[in-house]
Structure 1
Amino acid sequence: MTKVAAVQMVSTPVVSENIETARRLIGEAAQTGAQLVLLPEYWPSIGLNDAERIHHAEPFGSGPIQDFMAEMSRKYGIWLIGGTLSLVSQQPGKVLNSSLVYTPEGENIARYDKIHLFGFATERESYDESASICGGDDVVTFDAPFGKVGLSVCYDLRFPELYRAFGECTLIVVPAAFTYTTGKVHWEVLLRARAIENQAYVLAAAQGGRHATGRRTWGHTMLIDPWGEVKAVLPEGEGVIAGELDVDLLASIREKLPALKHRKL
């Protein structure tokens, strides 16, 4: 058995505050015996405007946020998937929203730049990530000791073709900052669908609560097994969920219902 954990946060606009919160919660996750820990999307900062996102962007490979993640993975001897942070892009006025993976030795061995950029508008709220973020192009997986892990972020969840492109994974991760409006209807349904159709564990780390900026995120950080059952969930507020990956269960499900082998398209 491999134990994994996901961290839920209610990030502020202040990077140093969020780093200290993440430090505490990663420590709590490590104390559960987790070998892999996932942070949520935008964990270093949820600011008031796009200018703050650009201001906090780091060059890939250097900066206090990346140094912190490398430090935490080494300190606790864990695989750490750093939710997302803003990285400097080649396009002026825009950043990349990127997920970085660190080994127990603190080495960055994978980077996924969020492909699908969120856009949503009602009379009360509106979001347009494309105004300040460049979308990525590459599908990214990495090999952990327990199997292949597929990297996705938040809005990607609505595009099942990305998950098919991973191939057969043991674990799919979804760091997110789902809005309260969309999350209460779509979040769990989409996560369970991705687990069922790909016959893989899904670990989703969310932002969850009322932020200092006034924004409200849905939360419900959770672990879902390959049969689509929710094994752990944290509805709202800061905290950690943990659970086990049972590769024998995964193999049994794929043997009894070989849907992945029955694909025609």
Structure 2
Amino acid sequence: MKAALLQMTSGIDPAANARTIVDSVAAAQAGGAAMLFTPEMSGLIDKDRARAARHITRAEDDVVLAAVRDAAARHGLWVHIGSLAVLADDGRFANRAFVIDDTGAIRATYDKLHLFDVDLPTGESWRESAAYAPGERAVTVATPLGVLGLAICYDLRFPTLFQALSGAGATILAVPAAFTVPTGMAHWHTLLRARAIESGAFVLAAAQVGSHADGRATYGHSLAIDPWGGVLLDMGSAAGLGFADIDPARVADTRQRIPVIDHRRAIPPVEAAP
């Protein structure tokens, strides 16, 4: 089956971002895809949190989510919205992924577990936890492409999450992202290939790219990786839509050749030698 990945340069206007995604739903369906994957923060990228807050609502009132659900139903296509900023129950924001089926119904949601709080050598400083609540659960969901395990961006650096997802039956791992350029250049390809190899699973990573209206820059290079670690698709540094073939038999073959999931053991307490 075929997956479509949308590489986009989301801005500060949710309505404009919604139009980009809706147009991509139609194009993905026309291109023969069974499912479309979009990046982290598909509906809004704005580091001015006061300005962004005017657009962030509860999920049931989110204009981007409503538009994409309608498009998924009209075109009969599954869509994984990499994430949207929505209001959580405690009044903070949540960085939330949505899996929408071909009738427009929401099949699963996932809130980003690991929040990006870093100071980079370039002088960039990010404090996601200042506004966002972390998620509290790992999530898998059955899709036409296989059992999908959900992650978001910075989660990529925590392999125990992906071990849990693949151990729970995930054969595809979604890693939507808005990676910075310095961290993307250094780590993006290596980490994604490692997650695919150690899980014996496909990895689909739709990414933000380019210069955004709020002044930030993102790395791009949306990737589709097979269970052996081979790169099926690398979308480089331009916005657009890409396609990758997903053959479920590759998962079974890879896991038979190197049965890492069967060989996992609980790690005993670390003993510090004197």
TM-score range, shorter chain: over 0.9
Aligned match of 1:118 in 108, 116, 121? 116
- Letter paired with 2:251: L
- After TM superposition, the score normalised by the length of structure 1 is 0.95
Cα offsets for 1:147-187 (capped at 9, x unmatched): 21100000000001111111231211011000001001101
- Letter paired with 1:143: A
- After TM superposition, the score normalised by the length of structure 2 is 0.92
Mapped pair 1:60 → 2:59: yes
Secondary structure in 1 matching 2:203: strand
- Maintained 8 Å contact 1:54/1:86: no
The aligned residue for residue 22 of structure 2 is: 23
- Letter paired with 2:240: G
- Letter paired with 2:182: T
- Maintained 8 Å contact 1:7/1:26: no
Secondary structure in 2 matching 1:90: coil
Q: Which stretch of the first structure deviates more once superposed, 96-105 or 47-56? A: 47-56
The aligned residue for residue 80 of structure 2 is: 81
Aligned match of 1:96 in 91, 94, 97? 94
- Letter paired with 2:203: V
Cα offsets for 1:239-261 (capped at 9, x unmatched): 01111111122211111221211
C-alpha separation between the residues in 2 aligned to 1:96 and 1:132? 8
The aligned residue for residue 144 of structure 1 is: 143
- Maintained 8 Å contact 1:114/1:153: yes
C-alpha separation between the residues in 1 aligned to 2:181 and 2:146? 33
The aligned residue for residue 251 of structure 1 is: 252
The aligned residue for residue 270 of structure 2 is: none
Mapped pair 1:227 → 2:228: yes
C-alpha separation between the residues in 2 aligned to 1:117 and 1:248? 34
C-alpha separation between the residues in 2 aligned to 1:19 and 1:50? 20
C-alpha separation between the residues in 2 aligned to 1:221 and 1:189? 13
Secondary structure in 1 matching 2:243: strand
The aligned residue for residue 105 of structure 1 is: 103
Secondary structure in 1 matching 2:19: helix
TM alignment of 1:182-193, pairs within 5 A: 182-193=183-194
The aligned residue for residue 269 of structure 2 is: none
TM alignment of 1:175-214, pairs within 5 A: 175-214=176-215
- Maintained 8 Å contact 2:110/2:137: yes
Rg larger for: 2
- Maintained 8 Å contact 1:54/1:132: no
Q: Which stretch of the first structure deviates more once superposed, 26-35 or 125-134? A: 26-35
Aligned-pair identity in percent equals: 37
- Maintained 8 Å contact 1:158/1:190: yes
- Maintained 8 Å contact 2:15/2:64: no
Cα offsets for 1:112-163 (capped at 9, x unmatched): 0111000121353111100110111010110123421100000000001111
C-alpha separation between the residues in 2 aligned to 1:169 and 1:143? 9
- Maintained 8 Å contact 2:209/2:218: yes
Gaps of 5+ in 2: 267-274
- Letter paired with 1:244: D
C-alpha separation between the residues in 1 aligned to 2:86 and 2:138? 18
- Maintained 8 Å contact 1:99/1:113: yes
User: Deviation at 1:216?
Assistant: 0.7
User: Deviation at 1:87?
Assistant: 1.4
- Maintained 8 Å contact 1:86/1:97: yes
- Maintained 8 Å contact 1:10/1:237: no
TM alignment of 1:165-176, pairs within 5 A: 165-166=164-165, 167=167, 168-176=169-177
User: Deviation at 1:82?
Assistant: 0.9
Gaps of 5+ in 1: none
- Maintained 8 Å contact 1:38/1:82: yes
User: Deviation at 1:54?
Assistant: 2.6
Secondary structure in 2 matching 1:37: strand
Structure 1 consecutive aligned stretches of length 4 or more whose deviation exceeds 4 Å = none
The aligned residue for residue 37 of structure 1 is: 36
